[in-house]
Amino acid sequence: MDEFGFVEPRIADRFRGFLPVVIDIESGGFNHQTDALLEIAAVMIEMTSLGELRPGTTHRYHVQPFHGSRLDPASLAVIGIDPHHPLRPAMPEKEALTQLFREVRKEVRDRQCTRAVLVGHNSSFDLNFLNAAIARTDIKRNPFHPFSSFDTATLGGVALGQTVLSRAVVAAGLEWDPTSAHSAIYDAEKTAALFCIICNRFRGLYEEARERAPQLAQPVPVPPEESV
């Protein structure tokens, strides 16, 4: 609070203590149990001093296929990834997730949130692949909520009448380059921009709800053993 009584808005208050983090995963198929996770990108979401959401820092990791994983040639043709290219700077799953989670936990702490929540376009796909990789690598300090997520396919359908990412992005007034699609970093950044636009346009509804039931806006406590 400043000398005039203005309290700067916090993203920690917008989603009950959760920090939205946009995740896009490119994979060797659609089965999260058997198919390789090949690329993951994350975009942090931040809040301006005026209470508007905007995309923040982007992180991207090329990932080595896990031992015994399936690589569907049709999926690889769509995403344009050669998993075995000698110049591809890929790292093992555990190393990639460890680095990503370190960045996410720092952002959660800096924003005074309790944990991260995944934002994705058809978010169940990305969350399933992420959770499967966490189980395979036995990573303990997962900053993401294990089953909750924000799905921009649903949000785009409600707000814009479009559920396909490219169509929702264009309907929201942004540009879409089809030659850049299916790159984890491109899709994640477009999903982040779409998420922020929709949330900002629904801000009035949120503020009305907060005034109507302020007790429901309190952050969700995290058990000590799950602290990020």
**Catalytic positions:** 182
What the block records as the tokens of 41 is 């990108």
Nearest to 44 by CA among 97, 105, 104, 131: 104
Contact 11, 46 (CB under 8 A): yes
And the tokens for 69?
Answer: 């994983």
With both helix axes pointing from N to C terminus, report the angle between 93-110 and 123-137 in degrees, rounded to the nearest 10: 110
How many Å apart are CA 35 and CA 37, to the nearest integer?
7
Long-range pairs of 64-67 with CB within 8 A, sequence gap ≥ 24: 64/90, 64/91, 64/92, 64/93, 65/28, 65/36, 65/37, 65/38, 66/36, 66/37, 66/93, 66/133, 66/136
